[in-house]
């Protein structure tokens, strides 16, 4: 029994000496040049379900692009550009001040996030959080030691859920976002 307590004590000290799992996650995402994540995206709201698989180019706190077969959504310092490849439309919009997105979790916007009690599970760390301004709960799962994200769940309301499964991740390096020819697309500008 004393040996078990001693081992648990050493383990607690080792974990305490390292960065917290959320800090490891932030360091993992904050690589020079950004991260390229292959993800599956699921959203369920009021019984309706939306699913998509695509590539997320995370190039910094204020810059990311999600690209799938039907659309490309880019966030760049408060401007959202949605390119609908099917309807051939480009929509420009602005975020609302104080608006929080799932990407605030990725960027580690600590002013917007309250981290709960982090748990070590069989497949990694489970990091519960609350997006403060919106009172939205969520959970992030990461790989121990690296901070690599595996899964993110957001619950905006009782009857809605957003899930992101990270299938693979690598530094962006020289793999820039592919260019899209939007010549001839309808332009809709909703910015004020």
Over residues 32-79, the pLDDT tens digits come to 888 999 999 898 888 889 899 999 998 876 788 999 999 999 988 888
Banded pLDDT at 107 (limits 50, 70, 90): low
- Tell whether domain 20-189 is in CATH 2.60.40.10: no
Three-state SS at 97: coil
Long-range contacts of 185-190 (CB under 8 A, 24+ apart): 185/83, 185/88, 185/89, 185/90, 186/87, 186/88, 186/89, 186/90, 187/89, 187/90, 187/92, 188/89, 188/90, 188/91, 188/92, 189/91, 189/92, 190/91, 190/92, 190/93, 190/94
The predicted-structure confidence for 70-92, as pLDDT tens digits, reads as follows 999 998 888 889 999 999 999 99
Round the CA-based radius of gyration of the chain to a whole number and report it.
Answer: 19
The pLDDT value given to residue 33: 84
Q: pTM, whole model, 2 decimals?
A: 0.79
The pLDDT value given to residue 60: 76
Q: What are the tokens at 85?
A: 């490849």
HEC letters along 59-71: EECCEEEEEECCE
Can you give the residue ranges of every domain in the chain?
20-189
Does 1 have pLDDT greater than 80? no
Banded pLDDT at 134 (limits 50, 70, 90): confident
């Amino acid at each position: 029994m004393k040996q078990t307590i001693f081992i648990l004590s050493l383990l607690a000290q080792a974990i305490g000496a390292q960065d917290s799992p959320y800090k490891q996650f932030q360091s993992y995402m904050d690589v020079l040049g950004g991260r390229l994540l292959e993800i599956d995206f699921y959203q369920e709201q009021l019984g309706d379900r939306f699913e998509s698989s695509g590539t997320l180019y995370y190039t910094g706190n204020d810059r990311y692009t999600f690209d799938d077969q039907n659309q490309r959504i880019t966030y760049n310092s408060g401007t959202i550009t949605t390119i609908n490849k099917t309807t051939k439309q480009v929509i420009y919009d602005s975020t609302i001040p104080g608006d929080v997105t799932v990407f605030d979790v990725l960027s580690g916007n600590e002013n917007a996030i309250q981290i709960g009690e982090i748990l070590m599970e069989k497949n990694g760390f489970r990091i519960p959080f609350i997006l403060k301004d919106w009172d939205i709960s969520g959970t992030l799962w990461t790989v121990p030691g690296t901070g690599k994200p595996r899964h993110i769940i957001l619950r905006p309301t009782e009857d809605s859920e957003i899930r992101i499964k990270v299938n693979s991740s690598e530094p962006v390096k020289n793999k820039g976002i592919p260019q899209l020819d939007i010549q001839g697309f309808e332009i809709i500008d909703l910015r004020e």
